[in-house]
Amino acid sequence: MEHVESETNDYYLAVGGQRVRVRYREGVGIPLVLCNGIGASLEVLDPLVENLDPTRPVLRFDAPGTGESPTSPLPYGFPYLAWVLGRILDRLEIEVVDVLGLSWGGALAQQFAFQNPRRCRRLILVGTGTGAIMVPGNPKVLSKMVTPKRFSNPSYGATIAAQLYGGVVREKSEQIADLFIRQLHAGSFKGYMHQLMAGSVWTSLFALPIIRQKTLIIAGTDDPIVPMINARVMNALMPRATLHAHGGGHLDLLVDAATFGPVVDDFLGPTKPYRRKWSKTADVKFTPGG
């Protein structure tokens, strides 16, 4: 893939009672919003971004209590967080987006698509399920996710990576340590608990037939956290879904990004100019990097 330099800026936006760090790589056409897995900062998504079409605009962010976004004062649910994401897009004057959600972020992506049917063009769900009502993973594996220790201690994360994530990681567990070391801050324990709580009281099972966006579901047959059956259920319930099954695990999207970047690009289609319909907000000032 030919390398094209694209301007990337960090913004710290106060929206909906939160202060959220956002990283936006400018490009051509409809931006792709990336919703990260639980406890992870936006740097963990670097491998995927580096393997996407370099002309594609990409927006990612630290959820409250992860990376450089301060912890939310109160617990929150996915409907609220989807609303916050919408306000972030407003501030950046972005009208229509494609959304990719990985694991926990897949729940947020589903919620955003449900709440914003005209604003979300296409949806990509990776290693995710329907929330509280789904087929759970191995209890011994899930017990290792009760705390964010694997992020704060990358060496520990590498020792449990094969059992936790499966797939390519079984042979390349050291890459997980490298991935988590990218994080500037691992986030707070309280922020991690808020994310766990949000997932524990949410389900999309009954809303899936209403999500009309063209959807790509990427799921691995060797995913100990989210068994493949969940992807098949979602594929059956979503009217415009396509299932991309692979033999890997939970984090192959990142650890084997050279394979999955083109899969994402093919689904989204080529980049092309998009005519903005919203008027610019004259009183909004952005400060890159702070």
C-alpha torsion sign, points 62, 240, 97, 58: positive
CB atoms < 10 A from the CB of 256, how many? Answer: 20
CA count, 13 A, side-chain hemisphere, 182:
14
Q: Strand pairing partners for 217?
A: 125, 243
DSSP secondary structure string for all residues of 178-210: HHHHT-S----HHHHHHHHHHHHT-B-TTTGGG
CB atoms < 10 A from the CB of 203, how many? Answer: 17
The answer for residues whose C-beta is within 8 angstroms of residue 14's C-beta and 6 or more apart is: none
The answer for residues whose C-beta is within 8 angstroms of residue 42's C-beta and 6 or more apart is: 21, 23, 34, 36, 60, 61, 62, 67
CB atoms < 10 A from the CB of 96, how many? Answer: 18
Structure tokens at 113: 């698509």
Nearest alpha carbon to residue 245 among 229, 261, 258: 229
Three-class secondary structure of residue 152 per DSSP: helix
Where b means 16+ CB within 10 Å and e means fewer, 27-60 reads bbbbbbbbbbbbbbbbbbbebbbebbbbbbbbbb
Show which residues are catalytic: 103
